[in-house]
């Protein structure tokens, strides 16, 4: 889901950048076209409308309003503007015909696939319409173009070839850019998935799949910031009793298997909002948010029983238990002081014979 939001944000950013191209081209057309073709000076209101619509579209993109409908309407306005210029300067004679293809390529880059092909079809239909209207003498040919264009109107066959060429080039350009963008987006999805996996791996202990020490310390710092704003939190330090005897007697593979079982027991015994991690070796830690002293003691006692029962099922010949020390966070704590108090309490629990809880605020 996060990846989808990133792609949508990237698409909107590209559309926003492309939108400024429309504004700039409209402004250049307003200034330069009357200098090149003086008779076009009378159409300044058309340029003003086009620039205003482009600026309005930029506002909608910035506010994330309209989505595909906005892109479709904006694309149709672009095509209408190009068709207006092309018809007046000579549908089969002006280089402005190439702008249809340019628009198709830009649309394929910044809008959804179906929108880009819809706009390509609209562009083909718009150009074909003025060509047919000129052939039927419903529209004059190049009424504002140079005299040599007006009096050297291409034959019907040449105009039809021009229309077909525009249609083929526009569809091909839209298709090829869409294919390229699909490939790019697929690679982006793969990269985002890999980044997600790498992020998870960087936070997890490879054996137990609990959070690792680095992530645990980061979360403790974040939780202490909440404590300074009036919330409560507690940290449990879990040290397994007699675990070394399992490694010595049965080997490290059996020891690793027991650690994984204990990790599963810890996860099943805490809340989804709590952070369970492997601190190192046979030591574990659990960060309890919004937890007072009494609640921390209850959680620790539940873990002592769960770990003892799990170890008994896994290694009935060895009495592996847990010594748990907990500390409730204080307003002036940092991660080191909180860890130190919880760790000291786990040692006190071990000194009492293990399989018990010692805590403090």
**Distance, C-alpha 123 to centroid of its chain:** 32
Please count the other Cβ atoms lying within 10 Å of the Cβ belonging to residue 179. Answer: 12
Q: Is residue 203 part of a domain?
A: no
At 151 the pLDDT is: 61
Last residue of a domain, one of 165, 198, 231: 198
The whole-angstrom separation of Cα 139 and Cα 126 is: 14
> Is residue 162 domain-shared with residue 262, that is, in the same domain?
no
The whole-angstrom separation of Cα 122 and Cα 360 is: 74
> Is residue 144 domain-shared with residue 247, that is, in the same domain?
no
CATH code at position 327: 3.30.70.270
pLDDT in tens, 159-186: 888 889 999 999 999 999 999 888 888 8
> Is residue 191 domain-shared with residue 306, that is, in the same domain?
no
Q: Using the predicted structure, report yes or no on whether residue 211 has a pLDDT greater than 70.
A: yes
The whole-angstrom separation of Cα 78 and Cα 73 is: 9
> Is residue 246 domain-shared with residue 180, that is, in the same domain?
no
Last residue of a domain, one of 148, 175, 198: 198
The whole-angstrom separation of Cα 51 and Cα 22 is: 8
Question: What Cα–Cα distance (Å) separates residue 132 from each residue in 136, 137, 156?
Answer: 6, 8, 10
Residues 6+ apart with CB under 8 A from 284: 210, 237, 238, 262, 263, 266, 276, 277, 278
Up-side HSE of residue 241: CA atoms within 13 Å toward CB?
A: 22
Q: Is residue 207 part of a domain?
A: no
Q: Is residue 205 part of a domain?
A: no
Range of the domain at 178: 2-198
> Is residue 220 domain-shared with residue 328, that is, in the same domain?
yes
Phi, psi (degrees; rounded to nearest 5) at 221:
-60, -45
> Is residue 137 domain-shared with residue 223, that is, in the same domain?
no
pLDDT in tens, 315-338: 888 889 999 999 999 989 999 999
> Is residue 155 domain-shared with residue 302, that is, in the same domain?
no
pLDDT in tens, 108-152: 888 889 999 999 999 999 999 999 998 888 988 888 877 666 666
At 4 the pLDDT is: 40
The whole-angstrom separation of Cα 252 and Cα 158 is: 83
Q: Are strands 283-289 and 233-241 parallel, antiparallel or unpaired?
A: antiparallel
At 12 the pLDDT is: 62
**pTM (two decimals):** 0.57
> Is residue 342 domain-shared with residue 282, that is, in the same domain?
yes
Q: Using the predicted structure, report yes or no on whether residue 9 has a pLDDT greater than 70.
A: no
Question: What Cα–Cα distance (Å) separates residue 258 from each residue in 189, 201, 269?
Answer: 37, 21, 16
What is the rounded average pLDDT of the residues 92-104?
86
> Is residue 186 domain-shared with residue 239, that is, in the same domain?
no
Average pLDDT, the chain: 87
Rg, C-alpha atoms of the chain = 35
> Is residue 187 domain-shared with residue 219, that is, in the same domain?
no
């Amino acid at each position: 889901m996060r990846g989808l939001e990133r792609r949508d944000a990237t698409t909107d950013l590209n559309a926003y950048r492309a939108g400024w191209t429309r504004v700039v081209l409209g402004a250049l057309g307003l200034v330069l076209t009357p200098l090149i073709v003086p008779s076009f000076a009378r159409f300044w209101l058309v340029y003003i409308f086009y620039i205003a619509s482009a600026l309005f579209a930029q506002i909608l993109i910035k506010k994330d309003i309209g989505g595909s409908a906005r892109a479709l309407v904006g694309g149709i306005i672009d095509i209408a503007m190009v068709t207006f210029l092309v018809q007046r300067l000579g549908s089969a004679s002006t280089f402005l015909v190439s702008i249809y293809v340019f628009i198709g390529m830009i649309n394929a880059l910044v809008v959804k696939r179906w929108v880009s092909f819809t706009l390509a079809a609209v562009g083909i239909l718009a150009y074909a319409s003025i060509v047919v209207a000129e052939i039927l003498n419903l529209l004059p040919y190049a009424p504002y173009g140079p005299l040599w264009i007006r009096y050297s109107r291409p034959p019907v066959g040449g105009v039809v070839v021009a229309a077909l060429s525009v249609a083929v080039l526009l569809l091909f350009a839209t298709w090829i850019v869409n294919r390229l963008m699909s490939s790019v987006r697929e690679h982006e999805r793969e990269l985002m998935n890999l980044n997600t996996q790498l992020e998870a791996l960087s936070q997890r202990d490879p054996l137990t799949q609990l959070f690792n020490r680095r992530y645990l310390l980061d979360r403790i710092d974040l939780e202490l910031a909440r404590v300074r704003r009036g919330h409560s939190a507690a940290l449990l330090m879990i040290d397994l009793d007699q675990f070394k005897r399992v490694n010595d007697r049965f080997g490290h593979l059996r020891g690793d298997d027991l650690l994984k079982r204990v990790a599963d027991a810890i996860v099943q015994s805490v809340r989804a909002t709590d952070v369970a991690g492997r601190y190192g070796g046979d030591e574990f830690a659990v960060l309890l948010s919004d937890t007072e002293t009494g609640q921390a003691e209850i959680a620790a006692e539940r873990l002592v029983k769960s770990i003892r029962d799990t170890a008994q099922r896994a290694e009935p010949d060895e009495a592996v238990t847990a010594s748990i020390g907990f500390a409730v966070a204080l307003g002036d704590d940092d991660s080191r002081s909180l860890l130190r108090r919880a760790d000291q309490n786990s040692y006190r629990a071990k000194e009492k014979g293990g399989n018990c809880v010692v805590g403090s605020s």
